[in-house]
Amino acid sequence: MVYNVSFDICAVVITTICISVMILHKDMKRFENKVLSGILVLHFVAAVLDIWSSVANSYTAQYSYAYRDFLNLSFLLTHCMEAALFAWYLMLLFGLDMVRRKTVKALLIFPELAGVILPLALNNVFRWVFYYDKYGVYSHGPMMYPLYGVSIFYMVLCCFIVLMKRNLLTRRQWRAMIALLLTSLIPILIQMIFIPHQLIEMFFQSVGFYMLMTTVDNFDDLRNPVTKVYNRFAFIKSLSILMASGTTFRLIVVKLSKSQYFKSEGYENLRINALLHFAADWLDSLDPRINVYDCARGFFVLPVVMEDALFTADLRSKIAERFKEKWTYSELSLTFAVQLCTITLPQDDLDPEQILEIIDMPFTEKNPVISYTTPTEIRASMAAAPAAVPEAMDIPQELSDTLDAFLAGVMTLTPAEKTVFQCYTRGMTPSQISEEIFISVNTVKKHTKSIYRKLEINSRNELIMYVDLFRRCRRIDDLENI
């Protein structure tokens, strides 16, 4: 039998593109993205081995049995590992590994060990997975079907996980994952039963991986452009997954004094941004297992997914000691007043909206001191505080004219463009806007070009910069009420 490897060659090309995009554009600090990249690399290796072994099995006279055994065993091992690794990826993505670690290990290791690794390891003795007939033709043994049955078991497990956690997925992610599972499962059955010489399986899986890869958030969409740590949007996504997992975790909230923060903005912008970057970078270096989220305006959050309360207390002490010292850049040297608050979930019984309210509650302290508070105290002060009255703020005439000109441009937008504009002001990406207001990504891009032209700007970052200027000048209501 001569095998057709054309589909496998296409699979190699598509998978190479996926790996390149993951490395160049996605956030490789996240462990789940590293696992997905590892799956893509494994898929690439499996596709190459499938081509190699198929050529050897097609031209039997030119290759020894030992050489063909090595290629066939290597292909089957790498290919059958993909489904188990993808199940692990989904468990990481949805935080399931944090709650049921023993169950996760059993589901991932035992079927793979008993149904894949052991039969392949003993194949040279029993020839029960594959063998060669008297003409040297590669043939499937009785254990080949249980071997693929293990992969199908993992795909069914993946379907169950996706259905169970569907509320944590966007529509694009949901469709991409279902498409990947279908393009993995159906071609396996077609190839095994109807067309064993047409190697279509790897190609369709590569297409499914490409669709999934496009739903992974880009690096720039998850990072604050100044501090280079994760932004508020990334925090909200992570918070949803942590709360859905049901595991115990703590949020260490680090707030710079509002009065000091605005005072520091009176310095040259580059210098204060450098200090904020230094502070965020130091927080990010505390522990490689902990991500730092910049929730804007000098408020940082560190989620700690560990049962040990002493670890959290020690971490908070380190933060307090460092912020007692000065932060220096060029000729600018500041000691920030800092408020530290620890939120323990689910014990504190707070929903995501209440958590964000606690994080956003301003902290005003003129003296450079370290203060400690609790979620209960912050919520009590929020309830007791009178309705905030915006303070008058002196804005340079040139800046005021710039904001007025931008506002006039916003007023010329069509209703559809204003809706897209408002989504951008909330930090959304084009794909998220498409899902939010139920229009295609191409339509979003069309509106975006028109918005840029009318506002005389060139990028989304420039638009966000203007929105931030309105917020800092306490004129954000002007934009929101248009």
Q: Is the pLDDT of residue 265 over 50?
A: no
pLDDT at 142: 92
Rounded (10°) angle between helices 441-455 and 460-472: 60
Residue listed under structure tokens 């199908």: 152
pLDDT at 262: 47
Q: What is the pLDDT of residues 194-216, one digit of tens each?
A: 887 788 989 999 999 999 999 89
d(CA 260, CA 368): 9
**What are all long-range contacts of 223-226, with beta carbons under 8 Å and residues at least 24 apart?**
223/27, 224/280, 224/294, 224/296, 225/461, 226/273, 226/276, 226/277, 226/294
d(CA 54, CA 7): 12
Q: Is the pLDDT of residue 461 over 90?
A: no
Asked if 431 and 172 count as a contact pair (C-beta separation under 8 A), the reply is yes
Q: Which has more confidence, 218 or 343?
A: 343
Q: Is the pLDDT of residue 415 over 80?
A: yes
Q: Is the pLDDT of residue 396 over 90?
A: no
Q: Which has more confidence, 481 or 185?
A: 185
| Angle, vertex CA 418, rays to CA 414 and CA 421, nearest 5 | 135
List the single range of 143-157, 220-234, 310-324, 357-371 with lowest mean pLDDT. 357-371
Q: Which residues contact 423 (CB under 8 A, 6 or more apart)?
A: 432, 433, 436, 437
Q: Which has more confidence, 442 or 107?
A: 442
Asked if 176 and 36 count as a contact pair (C-beta separation under 8 A), the reply is no
Distance (Å) of CA 151 to CA 51, 90, 127, 158, 291 = 20, 15, 20, 11, 33
Q: Which residues are bridge partners to 251 per DSSP?
A: 303, 343
3-state secondary structure of 132: strand
Q: What is the pLDDT of residues 309-339, one digit of tens each?
A: 889 999 999 999 999 998 887 777 778 889 9
pTM of the model: 0.75
Q: Which residues contact 140 (CB under 8 A, 6 or more apart)?
A: 129, 130
Asked if 302 and 254 count as a contact pair (C-beta separation under 8 A), the reply is yes
| Angle, vertex CA 447, rays to CA 443 and CA 448, nearest 5 | 110
d(CA 410, CA 466): 11
Q: Is the pLDDT of residue 149 over 50?
A: yes
Asked if 287 and 315 count as a contact pair (C-beta separation under 8 A), the reply is yes
d(CA 408, CA 461): 20
DSSP-assigned letters across all residues of 375-400: HHHHHHHHHHSPPP-PPP----HHHH
d(CA 150, CA 147): 6
Rounded average pLDDT over 123-136: 92
Rounded average pLDDT over 119-136: 93
DSSP-assigned letters across all residues of 291-326: --EE-STTEEEEEE--S-HHHHHHHHHHHHHHHTS-
